[in-house]
Amino acid sequence: NAEAVRRIVHNLNEPTVPSFMDDFPDPAIILTGDTWWAYATNANGTNIQLASTTKEAFDGRWKRHVGYDVLPSLPAWVRQNRSDVWAPSVVQTSPNNFVMYFSATWDKEPKFHCLGTATSSTPDGIFTPSPEPFACPLDVGGAIDASGFLDPVTKKRFVTYKIDGNSLGSGGTCNNGFWPRKNTPLVLQEVSADGIQKIGNPINLLNREDVDGPSIEAPSIAYINEKYFLFYSSNCFDSGFYDVRFATSSAVAGPYKKGGKLLISPNLGLINPGGAETTIDGKFVTFHAGPPGKRYMYTGRMTFDGDNTVTICTNGGCRSAEADGEELGDVKDEY
Which of 26, 145, 243, 277 is the catalytic position?
A: 26
Chain Cα centroid distance, residue 21: 20
Cα separation, 300 vs 295, whole angstroms: 16
Domain 3-330 coded CATH 3.10.20.30: no
- Terminal Cα distance for the chain, rounded: 18
Give the torsion through C-alpha atoms of 103, 197, 221, 17, to 10 deg: -40
For residues 39 and 4, which has the higher predicted lDDT (pLDDT)?
39
Its pTM stands at: 0.93
Q: What is the mean pLDDT of the segment spanning 274-289?
A: 98
What is the three-class DSSP state of 53?
strand
DSSP per-residue letters across 27-45: -EEEEETTEEEEEESSBTT
| pLDDT of residue 9 exceeding 90 | no
Which of 145, 190, 212, 217 is the catalytic position?
A: 217
Q: What is the mean pLDDT of the segment spanning 261-288?
A: 96
For 4-13, 117-126, 232-241, which range has the lowest pLDDT when averaged over its residues? 4-13
| Environment class of 291 (CB within 10 Å of its CB; exposed 0-12, middle 13-18, buried 19+) | exposed
The model's confidence at residue 96, banded by pLDDT at 50, 70 and 90, is very high
Is residue 307 among the annotated active site residues? no
Query: What is the reported pLDDT for 198?
Result: 99
Query: What is the reported pLDDT for 325?
Result: 67
Domain segments of the chain as ranges: 3-330
Contacts 24+ apart (CB under 8 A), 63-69: 63/20, 64/20, 64/22, 64/24, 65/124, 69/45
Given a contact cutoff of 8 angstroms between Cβ atoms, the answer to whether 231 and 217 are in contact is no
Residue-wise pLDDT for 36-63, tens only, equals 999 999 999 999 999 999 999 999 999 9
Residue-wise pLDDT for 156-200, tens only, equals 999 999 999 999 999 999 999 999 999 999 999 999 999 999 999
Is residue 26 among the annotated active site residues? yes
Q: What is the mean pLDDT of the segment spanning 305-331?
A: 80
Given a contact cutoff of 8 angstroms between Cβ atoms, the answer to whether 232 and 183 are in contact is no
Q: What is the mean pLDDT of the segment spanning 85-95?
A: 98
